Amino acid sequence: MSRFLKVLTLAAVVSLGVGAAEAGKFGLGREATPEEIAGWDIDVRPDGQGLPEGRGTVAEGEVVFAEQCAICHGDFAEGAGRWPVLAGGWDTLKSQNPVKTIGSYWPYLSTVYDYIYRAMPFGNAQSLTPDQTYAIVAYLLYMNDVVTDEEFELSKENFTSIRMPNEDGFIDDGRPDTPLVSEVQPCMTDCKEEVKITKRARIIDVTPEEDGETAGINVD
Amino acid sequence: MSKSDRPEKGIASPSRRNLLKAGLAAGGLAATAGFARAAEPDPYNLPPNVADWSRYLGVGVDNAPYGMPSEHESEVVRRSVEWLTASRESSINFTPLHDLDGIITPNGLCFERHHGGVAEMNPTDYRLMINGLVDKPLIFTLEDLKRFPRENRIYFLECAANSGMEWRGAQLNGCQFTHGMVHCVMYTGVPLKYILEEAGLKTNAKWIMPEGGDAAGMNRSVPIEKALDDCMVAFKMNGEALRPEQGYPARLVVPGWEGNMWVKWLRRIEVGDQPWHAREETSKYTDLLANGKARRFTWVMDAKSVITNPSPQAPITHGKGQTVLTGLAWSGNGRITRVDVTLDGGKNWHQARIDGPSLPKALHRFYFEFDWDGSDLLLQSRAYDETGYVQPTKDELRAVRGENSIYHNNGIQTWHVMANGGVENVEIS
């Protein structure tokens, strides 16, 4: 055994000796109680893990949505002003102006529940009851034609049976998707005969465009 | 350009007034946002005269218990683009890259991105919960976190949407606006591995879901390999407590990966066996391709660079002659190994000089000094990283991804320097 390895081994033994009873543990923190976890563990997954007991119908959702959501998202989830459009947008993903709504883009229904409960209504997060959240999600399914019956009731029990139209619209990261140095050594001298300016930044002010066009990005 | 072309000092240097006009013509933004305003010198302060500051006592210690920049640097601030977002609480502003040098971003100039405003969190009431697929769910106080062995690491943080406005063509005149969703600081914190192992990971633990304590409850899915590799829970930046807008009192650090995953005001980490597909990794932060399919879990920030000076907010004010070109390069896959720059739109390239520390997943500072002959220039920089990746052109990116991606635009930036020293954002053939 080399001297270096001996030192390493000794260091490992010493560090084990210094640690608490269980290896790698510092004895920090305290156990979280079930009540504490229940209060903060609000996430919902596509397989339904995390869904609370509850239910709500499209009709109930329409009422809650009008009270809590419509001021920003419009009565029919069409979006008010710059706020996100939540319904429609079908067949736009290949266009110059893709409209990425719950119906046209979002792959899983659980995302809708998870996000609404944790972050909505904007400025009063985590204030909705599970029943209200189920009802809003049911209403959004209806506005996106994923369900067509106004009497439809969404619940913990039938939640995972709902499939979203664009579930198959997502693929894995394909990068690197441009040539590496090993493939194309970049040119250093006399690389081009001629260079022309093809695009210029718009004469742009830090105010909204008259037509609301936003240069291909919507941050919200 | 040879040394013999160098003009006499003071000749052909554009007047301040003309330059301001040029800036306006070139970009509009320049006039209102960050165009350096150099006042005319006061002869009273110049030799052979003796200025007041050399004659009279200045203010004493404790004039500013927390020191601030010189009043003459008041233009060096974060700026936002109002039309970008519907509200101030879910919005973004930009680091003034053109005013900075070196690789470290001052804390007060690190760009902000919030989804539900800044959580004003009391450190006494701060708690971090670890639950899910662990042997024992735990709760830590801030003091608990500070009792773990600490690390100091310098990393860049870049928003996935940095340069997102430029996918369809040159849009904004200023590298603050085109590239300012990046900053680089030294974090002090605890390896996330220690914290997770303290709770004990179950054998089927494959993912974690960090969650913020802000009004957006920001949540993302992070694969366990990354969590155990180089992630940290940080409570200091550049030696002092995190700024409130950067996640005070504790945030997640996810080196090299998109900024949205660096959950601020970190309140909980759930361990699971599959990803959550949260809103910020499905509806947002997915990269829509031309064929209507979208890439998801596009975490790494690829190698990228930008020339910060000259740039539209930092025109050449000294006229012909010795000129310093400088910029930043970074890669989420490791170190930057080389940066090339061109003055003629890519006909000829020159290797730039990287100065300062070269650290993995950190900003790198490069320089190229040249003798400007006063003619139009088309400036570009091209970064390489240690994985053999070369920064692509914007057209190369569009060819494979289309124009609807929003995120991960690391294409080569072009600045057009005009004869009067003004600079505009362009794209070239």
**Is B288 found in the same domain as B228?**
yes
CATH number, domain of B285, equals 3.90.420.10
Domain boundary among B295, B328, B352: B295
Q: What is the CATH number of the domain that holds B343?
A: 2.60.40.650
pLDDT band at B85 (very low <50, low <70, confident <90, very high): confident
**Cβ contact, residue pair A93, B173, below 8 Å:** no
The pLDDT of residue B113 is 97
Assess whether B290 and B345 both reside in one domain. no
Is position B71 within any domain?
no
- pLDDT tens digit sequence for B205-222: 999 999 999 999 999 999
| C-alpha span between A176 and A81 (Å, rounded) | 37
For residues A48 and B35, which has the higher predicted lDDT (pLDDT)?
Answer: A48
User: What's the token pair of residue B399?
Assistant: 């060819």
Per-residue model confidence (pLDDT) at position B38: 58
Whether B368 maps to a domain, the answer reads yes
Asked if B155 and B279 sit in the same domain, the reply is yes
Establish if B14 belongs to a structural domain.
no
Residue A208: pLDDT above 60? no
Min distance A79 CA to chain B CA atoms (Å) = 11
CA distance A3 to chain B (A): 27
pLDDT of residue A202: 65
- Do both B283 and B357 map to the same domain? no
Boundary residue ending a domain (B237, B265, B295): B295
What element of type H or E holds A155? strand A153-155
- Verify that B219 and B265 share a domain, yes or no: yes
B274 and B213 part of one domain: yes
Give tens-digit pLDDT for A176-186: 999 999 998 99
| Residue B302: predicted pLDDT | 98
Q: What is the pLDDT of residue B83?
A: 82
Mean pLDDT of chain B: 92
Which B residues, 56 through 85, put their C-beta within 8 Å of a C-beta on chain A? 80-85
pLDDT at position A220: 52
Mean per-residue pLDDT, B92-114? 98
Any domain includes B90? no
Cα–Cα separations (whole angstroms), residue A152 to A135, A136, B173, B264, B306: 10, 12, 51, 38, 53
Q: Does A202 touch chain B (CB under 8 A)?
A: yes
User: For A101, what's the count of Cα atoms within 13 Å in the CB-facing half-sphere?
Assistant: 24
What's the pLDDT at B3?
39
Among B170, B348, B404, whose Cβ lies nearest the Cβ of A190? B348
Closest residue in A to B174 (Cα–Cα): A201
Cβ distance of A204 and B29 shorter than 8 Å: yes
Residue A12 has pLDDT above 80, yes or no: no
Residue B265 counted as domain residue? yes
**B251 and B325 part of one domain:** no
pLDDT of residue B4: 40
Please tell me which residue, B166 or A207, carries the higher pLDDT value. B166
Count the neighbouring beta carbons within 10 Å of the beta carbon of residue A200. 17
B264 and B328 inside one domain: no
The answer on pLDDT for A92 being more than 90 is: yes
Q: How confident is the model over B139-161, as a mean pLDDT?
A: 98
Of B238, B271, B295, which residue sits at a domain end? B295
Backbone angles phi, psi at B176, to 5 degrees: -60, -40
B326 lies in some domain: yes
Tell me: the pLDDT tens digits for A134-183? 999 999 999 999 999 999 999 999 999 999 999 999 999 999 999 999 99
Q: Does B22 touch chain A (CB under 8 A)?
A: no
State the distance between the two ends of chain A, measured CA to CA, in whole angstroms.
60
All structural domains of chain A? 52-165 (1.10.760.10)
- Cα–Cα dist A150/A139, whole Å: 8
User: Do B201 and B276 fall within a single domain?
Assistant: yes
| Residue A11: band (very low, low, confident or very high) from pLDDT cuts 50, 70, 90 | very low
| Residue B99, in any domain of the structure | no
Residues B136 and B223 in one domain: yes
Quick one: what percent of chain B has pLDDT higher than 70? Answer: 91
> Which among B342, B383, B403, B412 is positioned nearest to B178, based on CA atoms?
B412
pLDDT digits (tens, 9 = 90+) for B284-323: 999 999 999 999 999 999 999 999 999 999 999 999 999 9
pLDDT at A204: 52
**Residue B233 reports pLDDT greater than 50:** yes
CA distances B250 to B66, B109, B218, Å, are 22, 19, 14
Nearest-neighbour CA in chain B from A88: distance (Å) = 14
Say yes or no: B367 contacts chain A, CB-CB below 8 A: no
Average pLDDT for residues A209-218, to the nearest whole number? 41
Give me the number of domains chain B comprises: 2
Judge if B147 and B203 occupy the same domain: yes
Q: Is B409 contained in some domain?
A: yes
Considering the domain architecture, whether residues B242 and B309 belong to the same structural domain is answered as: no
Diameter over CA atoms, chain B: 77
Going from the C-alpha of B368 to that of each of B159, B323, B380, the distances in angstroms are: 27, 8, 12
Domain that holds residue B333: 304-426
Backbone CA torsion sign across A119, A124, A134, A80: negative
> How confident is the model over B26-84, as pLDDT tens digits?
444 443 344 445 579 999 999 999 999 999 999 999 999 999 999 999 999 999 988 88
Residue A189's pLDDT is 98
Going by C-beta distance under 8 Å and a sequence separation of 6 or more, which residues neighbour residue B61? none
* pLDDT (mean) for A83-87: 97
